[in-house]
Amino acid sequence: MGLDMTVMCARVKGAMKSTTEETTMTASPEHDHAVEIDTAIAEVYGEMQTVSAKLDRAETSLLRTAGARQYKNASRRIAWNMEIADAEAIVEQAIADHDGEFSVVIGGMWRGLDEMKNSISRLADARQARDEVVARYRELEAQYTGWSRFFLVNNTGGHIHSSMNCSTCRFDTSFSWLPTLSGLTEAEAVAEHGAILCTVCFPSAPVEWTNQYELEAAAKAADKCPGSGTYDHNSSGLDYYSPRAECNHCGHTISATSTGKLRSHKPNGRTR
């Protein structure tokens, strides 16, 4: 994936989650290997989220212990008025200068020596956990030889992409990684997950592999009475408390919105 490990896990492209769906296709050894590696990487991403949150909490604790304050920067984002390295140096120097004492004043506040030592220890533990999970990620990612990968956008009508860098997606688009499809061809992926491939990521894919949502929308539209969502009705039956009117297309009495539009309905008058 080539993610910048200084960013950690899924911060850049939204929350990447692996699915638990099982492929029902006849798997080749190459596909099995791709699935094994990518499933393990997906699990490491989950660990990265946990480790990242732990590191954030440890850094926040140390910054507060060192007397750091938060403020809104020029971009209106919350920031600290002190770098974590400076906070670490302040606390470590205070521990060295006052070791054996009960408390010391830092940033105008009394801080217990035990509290300060615990802050340093928690930060060290969080960094070690971060380094270990990053090392596991790099070891797994080093085994990637370029096989196909598939990512599903987490919204209604979301398509499957070949990466998280598609030009049709926003910087904050949320994806679900589909590691059980890793190593499959486009045709195999469609057979397994349906015809919802992105036309930009898969320009060679036949239209029937990319237009599932359009076909579903067209089918729904074809199943609607043309009077749905219109004012094309006999308004004599409308009243304030129970607005209903006879559709001029299908002849059925249909409930209407507060503005007098007929609600969506089928030619037989059913609304569902």
Q: Where are the domains of the chain?
A: 17-188, 223-272
135: its two tokens: 């090392």
Q: Which of 49, 55, 58, 39 is nearest to 11 (CA)?
A: 49
For 59-97, write each residue's pLDDT tens digit: 999 999 999 999 998 888 999 999 999 999 999 999 999
3-state secondary structure of 129: helix
Secondary element (H or E) of residue 171: none
> Could you write out the three-class secondary structure of 223-253?
CCCCCCCCCCEEHHHCCCCCCEEEECCCCCE
Tell me, what's the pLDDT at 6?
A: 31
213: its two tokens: 């949502």
Neighbours of 42 (CB within 10 A): 20
Average pLDDT value for the chain: 83
What pTM does this model have? 0.65
Q: Is pLDDT larger for residue 10 or for residue 70?
A: 70
- How are the residues of the chain apportioned to helix, strand and coil, as percentages rounded to the nearest 5? 40, 15, 45
Asked if residue 35 has pLDDT above 80, the reply is yes
